[in-house]
Each structure stands twice: as C-alpha cells, then as structure tokens.
C-alpha cells in the first residue's frame, strides 16, 4: 500500500468529532465539509474497498489525515 499523511500541529479534534466526520464522509447525504468527503469518494471510486481515509488526532497537539491506497506500478495506472 501507499500512504499519504497530512499532519497539522494545531488544536486537534475530539474523538467524538472524528467519529462524526467519518460518518459524514461515508454517508450519501450532502454535506458542508466537501473537501474530505470529495477526497474519500475519489479514493473509493478509483481504488474501491482497498482505499481508506482515516483521521488521528490529539487535542491541543495535532491532527493527521491518512490516505491509504493500493501500491501500483506505472504500467497499472
């Protein structure tokens, strides 16, 4: 697999809010948080169930968004 991590040393996000965000990006409903939902949907569209987007965070420390996708060689693109 290939992993892309986006890291921010900021306020962090509570576990409850992370769960809400995961539910929102996986939902078929419209949402005001289009960025993460758009990235998640594109990963799933291109790579299917092998792809994932997760969020890790520690309040007052950091937030990390991790995108996971299957590793592919140039000939497979």
* pLDDT score for 29: 80
**Residue 25 burial (10 A CB sphere; 0-12, 13-18, 19+):** buried
Q: How confident is the model at residue 5 (pLDDT cuts 50, 70, 90)?
A: very high
What H or E segment, with its residue span, contains residue 65?
Answer: strand 62-69
SS3 call for 77: coil
Q: Is the dihedral of CA 4, 49, 14, 39 positive or negative?
A: positive
Chosen CATH of 2-71 out of 1.10.1060.10, 3.40.50.720, 3.30.565.10, 3.40.50.300: 3.30.565.10
CA distance 41 to 47: 10
- The reported pLDDT for the residue numbered 30 is 75
Which of the four pLDDT bands, split at 50, 70 and 90, describes residue 72? Answer: confident
């Amino acid at each position: 697999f290939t992993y892309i991590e986006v890291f921010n040393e900021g306020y962090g996000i509570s576990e409850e809010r992370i769960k809400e965000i995961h539910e929102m990006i996986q939902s078929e409903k419209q949402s005001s948080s289009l960025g993460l939902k758009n990235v998640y949907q594109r990963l799933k569209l291109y790579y299917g169930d092998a792809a994932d987007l997760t969020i890790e965070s520690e309040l007052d420390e950091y937030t990390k968004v991790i995108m996971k996708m299957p590793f592919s060689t140039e000939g497979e693109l």
